Every structure is written in structure tokens, then in C-alpha cells.
Amino acid sequence: MVNRFAKLAILAASLMSGAALAQTPPTGQPHAWGIDFQAPATNKMADIESFHVMLLYIIVAVSVFVLILLIWVMVRYNRRANPVPSKTTHNTLIEVVWTVVPVAILVVIAIPSFKLLYANERIPADIELTIKAIGKQWYWTYEYPDNGNFTFDANMLSDEAAAAAGQPRLLAVDNFVVVPEDTKVRLIVTADAVIHAWTVPAFGVKIDAVPGRLNELWFEVPEPGIYYGQCSELCGARHAFMPIGVKVVTKEDYAAWVASQQAAAGIAPAEQTAALR
């Protein structure tokens, strides 16, 4: 018996140390043994995460309080401990308290919640770059109207190609959405044929891509990096295989990438909008 426990302990320890050893988890993608959100890449996601943590404290406190009340009632007022029950039906003070306290808790939750909703819904007036994403069956097409309207498709890489490219399996893409760092980017999202959803968890953005309708979201990423997401609306047979890859680069690298895309598409550089030159 002792031997079995020892084996279990060793197994658990090796699993945990394996998780700890697995180099600093890569940003912008899920990692083994991850149980929380991905590291936030935008202020918006950092705010969402702190709201989530605040809710967690409130939920735990409410659950523990209710559990204690239940245990107290079961122990103190069961048939043996309290053979003659009280006939009390009303207690004004308690009734006021159990109405006012939950309302106060909801108000405390509502304030940061509405702030977040507002920050997400309202596209800032000083947007610097607009990109369009079109969900298709089953890949994404991107358009860069501010840069001469070049366009490309982003398809998932096969397992072998992903491994060769050093990208995560099932998230790897052949073409990244490239955006400059420290730039307010608006993404206009729509779809062809069926509903998809565009999301990057590390950015704290997710929005439905609906045929015949333009939805929009915005994000601003301070750090260059690669960030992944997946179509998040059941859209058909290959729903799980239309990942989203965003590459955030320096402004100089962005200009060079735009120039190469324009050259490939035969677009004169002059067509680029003033905002980004």
C-alpha cells in the first residue's frame, strides 16, 4: 500500500515538475497544464482578467456563506436538536438585509462590467488601421483597405507543416494577419454563407462573423508577438480547423510587409493612406 502511494507521489511530482520545467509558457496560445486565461496581450484583456478575479472572490465568498448557513441549519435545527420548531414567519430586519445585500453586490459587479462593455463596444475615434476579416468555409480571408486593399487567405497548416514552421498544431496558419505594435486597429468582421466568430483570447476580443452584416472590434497590442485564436461559432464540418493567427510587428516591419504585399498584388505604394505612411 505504502509502495503504491509512493509511486503515485512520484508520478504526481514528475508531472508537476514537468509542467514547471516546460519553459516559460508561450504567449498568445494555450499551453500544457494551463488552467487560467492566456497571458493578456492588451489592456482590455488585463481588465477582463482582473474583473474575472474579482468575480471569483465574490462567488467564493457567497458560496462559502451559503454553505455555512446550510450546515448551521442542518446541525442546529434538525428534528433531534430542535424538536419544537419556531412558528416565526417574518423578520423584517432579515428580509431587508437579504434584499439589500444582494442588490449591493450586483451594483458592485455592474460598475466594472459596464465599463468593460463600453470599452469593447465603442470603437475609439483615433483608429489608425482598419482591416477586414471574412469568415469562409473553412478559412479566413483578410483585406487591408487602408493599404491599397490587398487581400489574402489564411488556411490552417497540416500537422507536419506546423511542426516544420515551429507553430502550434491546429492553430498554425499559412498567412498571419499582420498588424503594427502600439496601433489602434479596427477589425471589420463578416462572413460568407454561414456564421463564424473571430477571436484572439489574449486580446480579449471575440465577435460573430455574420453573412450580410458588418461587425467590428478593436484592439491595440503594445508588444510584438504571435497570437492565436480559433473560429468560435459552430460553422460546419471543419469549424475546428480554421485558426486565426495574428502577428504583431514593429511599425518598420509592418511597412516592409505592406510593401511586399503590395508588390505581390501589383498595387502602387501611393495608394497607401496617409495615416500609415
What is the contact surface with Cu ion in residues (CB under 5 A)? 196, 231, 235
Rounded to a whole number, what is the largest CA-CA distance in the chain? 91
Least distance to Cu ion, CB of residue 191, Å: 8
Least distance to Cu ion, CB of residue 135, Å: 5
Would you say 148 or 243 has its CB closer to Cu ion? 243
d(C-alpha 127, C-alpha 183), whole Å: 8
8-state DSSP, 147: B
- Beta-sheet strands, E only, within the chain: 129-136, 139-144, 150-154, 177-180, 185-191, 196-200, 205-209, 215-219, 225-230, 243-249
Least distance to Cu ion, CB of residue 129, Å: 24
Least distance to Cu ion, CB of residue 139, Å: 9
User: In this structure, are residues 119 and 217 in contact, taking their beta carbons and an 8 Å threshold?
Assistant: no
Would you say 123 or 195 has its CB closer to Cu ion? 195
Q: What are the residues facing 149 on neighbouring strands?
A: none
Would you say 196 or 247 has its CB closer to Cu ion? 196
CA distances from 136 to 98, 203, 209, 265 (A): 51, 22, 9, 21
Would you say 131 or 242 has its CB closer to Cu ion? 242
